């Protein structure tokens, strides 16, 4: 699968560019989200009950939950976690406790969940797979979501990780100049906010382009020996510039705190962080010239889920125009369902127009599949960087 991921990365980016461009064109004229009624017919079983859902902290899910309950009668019991690693760890515990029906990782984690026996496949006959925008549930994304011919992941929202910065203090704040390399510029000593493993990946991409790695950066996703060979070099270089880091973040709340209270003027963050900070002050979110990191986040069904039918109704609702737009607005990100772009808040659409000008959409760098052993090693390198 790794070879497919590497060779098909540009194909996936091109397919998903369709939805990015659709957001930019339709969003400007789009109205604020309004639910005129459910987009699917209730069935007797799903018109009551509840399900237990573990997802990301720092977001305003309630409008989406309220709309889902209104449409189906199903109550959502939500537990928030700050990051992928914590969601994964709690999913392991839930295999014994049965605490959750649905978990919300990114698609690159599917292999790790399947290898650990945490999840069961979705029954696609109970979903609405034709609802999704091209490239989000089919193509390479569909391959990444599938194990042994069975679909373990369905998308909920997708977005990016790029540069958030204070426009008064960051010197390269225009597209084509802004670079991942700026995170390591001595001019920003004590002024950078990053997620540790993302910062190492960003530096790895920069060093790869400069011919400073022992082998191509993507080789690290193929086997653990290659990963260690590459990331040893990257970590050593990152430690040299550790003094640049004002704070590390793991979740949305941490990232915003990096700018609000820890003195950061530049960071590698999710799009939601850039959007939220831009509402408070002179902050902007912009794709670096190397290309923004991109992620596809969605739902997996726990192996011991107790509320399976209700969980399927949730996944189906998020694929509708209403559900997709509500979830995208929640994350200040992109909808996965057809027609969702027409219901986006115009402010969100303008944010993306400004963040991805010119050819930025064609340069998206999609996180590849990361095995359980890769994730363990990656966490070790991140910990070493933080502790250095």
Displacement of CA 143 from its chain's centroid (Å): 18
**Confidence bin at 139 (pLDDT 50/70/90):** confident
pLDDT at 200 over 90: yes
User: Looking at the structure, do residues 265 and 382 belong to the same domain, yes or no?
Assistant: yes
Residue-level pLDDT at 48: 63
Question: What total number of domains does the chain contain?
Answer: 2
Residue 301 is inside which H or E element, if any? strand 293-302
Does residue 39 sit in the same domain as residue 50?
A: yes
Residues 238, 180: contact at Cβ < 8 Å? no
pLDDT band at 320 (very low <50, low <70, confident <90, very high): very high
Q: How far is CA 224 from CA 202, 219, 257, 373, in A?
A: 19, 9, 34, 7
Give the pair of three-digit tokens for residue 173: 């704040």
For residue 265, with 0-12 CB atoms within 10 Å meaning exposed, 13-18 middle and 19 or more buried, which class applies? buried
From CA 333, how far away is CA 160, in angstroms rounded?
8
Question: Which tokens go with 358?
Answer: 């010119």
If you write DSSP's letter for every residue of 139-191 in order, what string do you get?
A: HHHHHHTEETTEE--EEEEEEEEEEEEETTT-TT-STTT--GGGGG-GGGTT-
Query: Both 139 and 18 in a single domain?
Result: yes
Query: Same domain for 220 and 272?
Result: yes
Together in a domain, 37 and 84: yes
Query: How many percent of the chain have pLDDT more than 90?
Result: 77
pLDDT tens for each residue of 50-74: 999 999 999 999 999 999 999 999 9
Q: Which has the higher per-residue pLDDT, 364 or 318?
A: 318
Q: Quick check: 9 pLDDT over 80?
A: no
Residue 203's contacts (CB-CB under 8 Å, 6 or more residues apart) are 180, 183, 184, 234, 237, 238
Average pLDDT over residues 116-143: 93
Q: Is there a single domain that holds both residue 148 and residue 6?
A: yes
pLDDT of residue 41: 36
Q: How confident is the model at residue 366 (pLDDT cuts 50, 70, 90)?
A: confident
Question: Which range (113-122, 150-159, 160-169, 349-358) has the least confidence?
Answer: 349-358
CA dist 374 and 2 (Å) reads 12
Residue 330 has pLDDT above 60, yes or no: yes
- For residue 290 the two structure tokens come to 């190397």
The answer to whether residue 111 scores a pLDDT higher than 80 is yes
In the chain, the percentage of residues whose pLDDT exceeds 70 is: 88
Same domain, 50 and 104: yes
Pick left, alpha or beta for residue 323 (phi over 0 → left; psi -120 to 50 → alpha; otherwise beta).
Answer: alpha
Most confident of 13-17, 310-314, 368-372: 310-314
Q: Please identify which residue in the block is written with the tokens 């969940």.
A: 113
Tell me the pTM: 0.75
User: Average model confidence (pLDDT) for the chain?
Assistant: 88
Three-state DSSP at 202 gives helix
Instruction: Kindly state the average pLDDT of the residues 244-262.
Output: 96
The CATH number linked to 341 is 3.40.190.10
Residues 326 and 347 in one domain: yes
Cα 156 from Cα 326, distance rounded (Å)? 10
Structure tokens at 279: 């509402």
Render pLDDT for 73-99 as a digit per residue (tens, 0 to 9). Answer: 999 999 999 999 999 999 999 999 999
Is residue 62 domain-shared with residue 176, that is, in the same domain?
A: no
Q: Is 298 helix (H, G, I), strand (E, B) or coil?
A: strand
What's the rounded mean pLDDT across residues 30-47?
Answer: 38
Note whether 175 and 323 are same-domain residues. no
The mean pLDDT value for 360-386 works out to 92
Q: How far apart are CA 6 and CA 366, in angstroms?
A: 10
Structural domain that includes position 139 = 2-158+297-361
Spatial distance between the Cα atoms of 331 and 334, rounded to a whole number of angstroms: 8
376 lies in the same domain as 259: yes
pLDDT at 288: 98
Number of H helices, E strands in the chain: 14, 13
The reply to whether 288 and 343 lie within a common domain is no
Query: Mind listing the pLDDT tens digit for each residue in 205-218?
Result: 999 999 999 999 99
């Amino acid at each position: 699968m790794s070879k497919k991921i590497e060779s098909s990365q540009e194909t996936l980016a091109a397919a998903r560019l369709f939805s990015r461009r659709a957001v930019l064109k339709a969003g400007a004229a789009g109205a604020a989200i309004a639910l005129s009624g459910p987009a699917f017919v209730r069935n007797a079983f799903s018109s009551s009950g509840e399900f237990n859902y573990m997802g990301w902290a720092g977001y305003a899910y309630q409008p989406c939950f309220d709309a889902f309950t209104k449409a189906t009668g199903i109550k959502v019991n939500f537990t928030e976690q700050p990051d992928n690693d914590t969601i994964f760890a709690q999913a392991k515990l839930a295999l014994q406790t049965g605490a959750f029906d649905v978990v919300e990782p990114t698609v690159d984690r599917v292999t790790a969940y399947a290898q650990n026996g945490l999840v069961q496949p979705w029954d696609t006959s109970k979903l609405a797979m034709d609802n999704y925008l091209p490239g989000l549930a089919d193509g390479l994304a569909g391959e990444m979501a599938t194990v042994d011919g069975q679909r373990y992941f369905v998308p909920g929202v997708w977005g990016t990780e790029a540069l958030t910065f204070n426009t008064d203090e960051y010197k390269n704040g225009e597209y084509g100049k802004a670079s991942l390399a700026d995170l390591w510029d001595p001019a920003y000593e004590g002024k950078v906010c990053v997620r540790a493993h993302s910062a190492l990946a960003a530096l790895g991409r920069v060093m790869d382009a400069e011919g400073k790695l022992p082998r191509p950066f993507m080789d690290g996703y193929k086997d653990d020996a290659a990963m260690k060979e590459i990331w040893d070099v990257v970590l050593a270089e990152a430690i040299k510039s550790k003094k640049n880091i004002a704070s590390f973040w793991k979740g949305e709340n941490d990232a915003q705190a990096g700018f609000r209270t820890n003195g950061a003027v530049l960071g590698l963050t999710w799009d939601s962080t850039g959007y939220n900070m831009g509402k408070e002050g002179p902050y902007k979110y912009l794709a670096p010239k190397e290309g923004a990191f991109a992620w596809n986040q969605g739902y997996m069904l726990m192996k011991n889920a107790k509320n399976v039918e209700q969980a399927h109704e949730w996944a189906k609702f998020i694929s509708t125009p209403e559900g997709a737009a509500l979830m995208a607005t929640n994350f200040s990100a992109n909808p996965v369902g057809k027609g969702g772009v027409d219901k986006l808040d115009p402010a969100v659409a303008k944010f993306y127009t400004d963040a991805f000008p010119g050819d930025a959409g064609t340069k998206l760098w999609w996180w590849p599949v990361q095995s359980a052993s890769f994730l363990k090693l990656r966490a070790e390198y991140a910990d070493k960087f933080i502790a250095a």
